[in-house]
Structure 1
Amino acid sequence: MSMKKNKIAILGAGHIAEKMALTLQGMEVVQRYAVAARELERAERFAAAWGFERAYGSYEELVKDPEVELVYIATPHSHHYEQARMCLMHNKAVLCEKAFTANARQAADLLRLAHDRGVFITEAIWTRYMPFSATLRELVFSGIIGQPSMLTASLGYPMAQKERIARPELCGGALLDIGVYPINFARMLFGTAIEEVQSSCVKNSLGVDMQDSLTFRYADGKMAVMQVTAFCANDRQGVISGDKGYIIVDNINNPQQASVFDANHRLVEVVTCPPQITGYEYEVQASFDAMAAGLLESPFMPHGETLEIMRLLDSLRMEWGVTYPADNE
């Protein structure tokens, strides 16, 4: 007996869509069903390259296809709201790439609409769905480093020239593109009881943030200090420190291993991530699992958490004077 495969569609045919397509090739429980781009030819090339059954030259055609069960949105942040809204209006479940929307107002609107229509939607912040994230949390609070009280996290890529990063009308900037990773890393490990946020940024000539530093002070005295940059590559590491030692996570954007050191800097243990296709498979599986259970959100990234993070991003941008066209709508 053959298992029923879940039909997934990709909206957008760029670099991130290709990474998802590669992931889906390795997943037995899903059917690579459809892809849409703004030009039919581009969608057809993508479909042929990655083994999708259908190619559409408009996003509207894709969401009108009754066979599509889940739509993965892989376009710039500036487009997420309109596209996710269109999916929801056609009762299509949505896995929307981070940052979820341009601002919290858009996010609240989408979540309300999804709730009213009874349609599943979740934010594709892949680290939230990785089993290794739960492993890390267990490790941090296992007592192996004693009482954890300080976390640092860095992420940087030399990409300041990319249009989607540089331009305000595409909701550019380091914060929405990569700042979300250290923020999610800190919240996953140290929780959400943040009492104070301090920050600063460096902007480009178009007025979007290219380099940011953030500090969270928690109610219980913990601190998380984060830095992101679109100017340069950096070590991408996360370090969680306690009174008996510290844990170094090799890459907060896709952790493969965590090295535990004692207070004398001796390596105590190395915990490695189980093999993965790309790491994107977990958010896809979690979406179909939640849908099968009749849920409208994923327990790995609840709607309330998506909204709270969007509000945080808004308040940081407001403090820095980074605005997008969508902020004035």
Structure 2
Amino acid sequence: MAKPYNVRWGFMATGWIVESFTKDMLIDSSVRGASDISHTITAVASSTSIERAEKFITDNSIPRPCTAYGSYEALVADPNIDIIYIATPHSHHFQNTMLALEAGKNVLCEKAFTVNAAQARILVETARRKGLFLMEAVWTRYFPLSVQIREAVKKGEIGEALRVTADTSVGSLDPEKAWGTTHRMVNMDLAGGVLLDLGIYSLTWVFQILYHTQPPSSRQGPSSIKSQIAHYPLTGADESTTILLEFPRSVPSGSHKAHAIATTNFRLTANPDGKWSAGPSVRIQGTKGEIQVFGFPFHPDSFKVIPRAVNGEPEQQIREVVGEFPGEGKGMYWEADEAARCVRDGKLESESMPWEESLVIMEVMDEVRRQGGLKYPEEIESAEYPVKLGGRRDEHLHGKGSE
């Protein structure tokens, strides 16, 4: 048996999401059937201090040797790194990813990819010019459950998929008291608000069903975008965003138009009793039935395929699939495996999260923000590089229920 291809990782930031990523990365990849690749965490960087990076390595039991850095510049200069995982606030993604790309490093960058589409285009152009791998880390796409659902839709198991509804609402009962004005969820200097942080998961389900399932050569983005935003009174960030999209082609045949509703809110929760009594967070409705997805949209844990009852035909059974997370992982290792294989194979982008799709989704979010009058500080929106940004670059501490 061939020796697994080992990929050496550098972590940019030391927040909560990086801890989750680390725990998944340290699970033996063969447990999930990924015996062709393996992962090594080579270095960790904190923009605050080398001591913080060192503490992260120790606290998370990362095998030595693993180098601690007190700056991102030192991290990207390390010759022993194959790919950098960027988990800073999305306000800093463009500057941080450009830093890594310019240093010749492959990049897996957390969602939202950037603050706006202009920044995302520059990242893609830079990666293409330098021949480097670049991927937006939308981990949900790589869950086996997500893959199975996409395949069921493409095969026409629910007929022609005409509508998708997805709600990613996970928040605080009293955000004014819990978050005030400085928490990353509401801080405009960190591109705070629900759209870029949580709403992107609602859009992920819309796009992986009504866009990604189309043949790559004929994919068409939404022909109509309508939205409403409610602003958080203390800072102006969006606390509630609702998006209505029309796609020119349904799937799989493209015989009709299709609609989608993507919602997110940080005062509400889609799972009020913690038992999903309120119903599924995602519904994919077709002419012959529907697929209901349970668990928050960023972490689906099961789904049901419910056939449509037709008079005179034998009743069909509901098909239910419960997800497994080998090694008691959270599910982040699947996107890490994909990135590792792409680096091994010399690919610049992933077929499951291609550059073009990231750009289309960013364009939709740009239009939603335009319609809702949501604009971040000029330095955050800037597509110039380098620009020194303020804010706490190491924070990516998602609230309960988020990644």
Match of 2:257 in 1: 221
SS at match of 1:270: strand
Bigger mean CA deviation after superposition, 1-10 or 298-307:
1-10
SS at match of 2:185: helix
Match of 2:322 in 1: 272
Letter in 2 for 1:195: S
Q: CA-to-partner distance for each residue in 1:39-64, whole Å, 9 max, x for gaps?
A: 11111110112215111111111111
Q: Report if the CA contact (8 A) 2:119-2:382 is conserved.
A: no
Q: Report if the CA contact (8 A) 2:5-2:344 is conserved.
A: no
Corresponding pairs, count? 329
Match of 2:54 in 1: 44
Match of 2:169 in 1: 156
Q: 1:298 to 1:75 in 2, by over 3 A?
A: same
Give 1 or 2: higher helix fraction.
Answer: 1
Deviation of 1:3 after TM superposition, in Å, equals: 4.4
Q: 1:309 to 1:78 in 2, by over 3 A?
A: same
Give 1 or 2: higher strand fraction.
Answer: 1
Provide the identity percentage.
31
Matches within 5 A, 1:14-53: 14-28=15-29, 29-38=38-47, 39-50=49-60, 51-52=62-63, 53=66
Match of 1:197 in 2: 225
Question: Structure 2: any 5+ residue segments left out of the alignment?
Answer: 30-37, 212-219, 249-255, 272-279, 310-314, 384-403
Q: Report if the CA contact (8 A) 1:97-1:124 is conserved.
A: yes
The separation in 2 between residues aligned to 1:146 and 1:112, in whole angstroms, is 38
1:188 to 203, 208, 213: 208
The separation in 1 between residues aligned to 2:335 and 2:261, in whole angstroms, is 27
Deviation of 1:4 after TM superposition, in Å, equals: 5.2
Deviation of 1:76 after TM superposition, in Å, equals: 0.4
Bigger relative CO (Cα 8 Å, ≥ 6 apart): 2
Letter in 1 for 2:299: N
The separation in 1 between residues aligned to 2:374 and 2:349, in whole angstroms, is 30
Length-normalised TM-score, structure 1:
0.94
Bigger mean CA deviation after superposition, 173-182 or 237-246:
237-246
Match of 2:371 in 1: 319
Tell me which stretches of 4 or more aligned residues in structure 1 moved more than 6 Å.
Answer: none
Asked if 1:60 is matched to 2:60, the reply is no
Match of 1:256 in 2: 301
Match of 1:237 in 2: 281
Question: Structure 1: any 5+ residue segments left out of the alignment?
Answer: none
Letter in 1 for 2:230: V
Letter in 2 for 1:203: H
The separation in 1 between residues aligned to 2:101 and 2:382, in whole angstroms, is 23
Deviation of 1:105 after TM superposition, in Å, equals: 1.2
Letter in 1 for 2:262: M
